[in-house]
Structure 1
């Protein structure tokens, strides 16, 4: 073998491995596996506007044993984000019915967005779900929380927008258990949202180390651990 061949082979191995190391953890590990008897399906809920959604569930668990989970999405993402990240599969494996929806851009008012989510919950048959709301989806989640918080088993805001549009008194009237979650490097919207959301009486805070605004993408394993821990404490 020529003298330079081993060095070239070693360099080639490094060039192959480095891009893999630079990929986000979710892409390196791939989506979580579904349990054998779980089902995943995509559908469209009719109405104006129509709602595209993805759903995962593990039917071996009693229907009432674990809370349903309704996942919204941020500006640059869709319901497919939660499938690609493995969140839907993981929740199904833990016995939750998990539904991720695509948010419409045509609902202009706070009242309209709250009514939209109420329609989603009713038509999809969700039973007092836990509402997961990152970033832009706060425009939908916050008015629903303040108007219909009793319909939720829990609330997981992830640096949502729109928190300053409501007063401390309004937040203090909400009795929904809440996990306030954001990334350590999200010094803008994450900490801004915390200033308002900390007025919710039944809240806890988790900051994901080294993560940015889309902290669930930067640190998916830490995010999933925090989410499952919160769900496990709900009654």
Structure 2
């Protein structure tokens, strides 16, 4: 059976909480790479648990980890990160502390403030990148996106004419990308079309 484990804090400077789904074959040491899930401003790590994403990934052999970013969920009392460097260092620290070496990073909306600097400044730390209408894409130059070779799955809802369309303009500059529009879905498109989202995600992961 899949086991969802909840732990209290990370060692190091920045405490956080996370929920983790272990793959069925974890005891055999044959699990695939890690999928690290961030969340939007109105959500937490529990969103991925409730949606079934953690268990679906575990059932397919992936180690799935969803964290609460500082100031959200059960990391509510952690100090929010106010600078790009602070957010970048924080996410790199989380990746190291959880032994998520070269994870696939799923990053919706607000979490783009954490993930985009890591993608553009430390692309060698990521195996794959799954942006879902992330915030902050206009903060970087077109040339920066064009230099990134990390395989990317760009997911957006066709009804999200704000961040969805805005972020897509920049993200499409990534040379190794696939576009997945979820028809009739809004900003949190994975909630509106979970089956289509999970199918596209699993297909993407299977090719990495």
- Under a length normalisation based on structure 1, what TM-score does the superposition of the two structures give? 0.81
Q: Which residue of 2 aligns with 1:41?
A: 5
Match for 1:58 among 18, 23, 45? 23
Match for 2:93 among 100, 111, 119? 119
| Alpha-carbon distance, 1:66 to partner | 2.3
Write the mapping of 1:104-115 to structure 2, written as runs, cut at 5 A: 104-105=70-71, 106-115=80-89
Give 1 or 2 for the bigger CA radius of gyration: 1
Deviations 1:108-140 (A, max 9, x none): 111111111110110101121100000000000
Secondary structure of 1:221's counterpart equals helix
User: What is the Cα-based RMSD across aligned positions, in Å?
Assistant: 1.3
Q: Do residues 178 (structure 1) and 152 (structure 2) align?
A: yes
Q: Which residue of 1 aligns with 2:55?
A: 89
Secondary structure of 2:145's counterpart equals helix
Match for 1:67 among 15, 33, 49? 33
Structure 2: where are the runs of 5+ without partners? 72-79
Write the mapping of 1:140-155 to structure 2, written as runs, cut at 5 A: 140-155=114-129
* Cα distance in 2, alignment partners of residues 198 and 109 from structure 1: 26
* Cα distance in 2, alignment partners of residues 145 and 155 from structure 1: 8
State the number of aligned residues.
198
Structure 1: where are the runs of 5+ without partners? 1-35
The list of structure 1 runs, each at least 4 consecutive aligned residues, that deviate by more than 6 angstroms after superposition, is none
Secondary structure of 1:45's counterpart equals coil
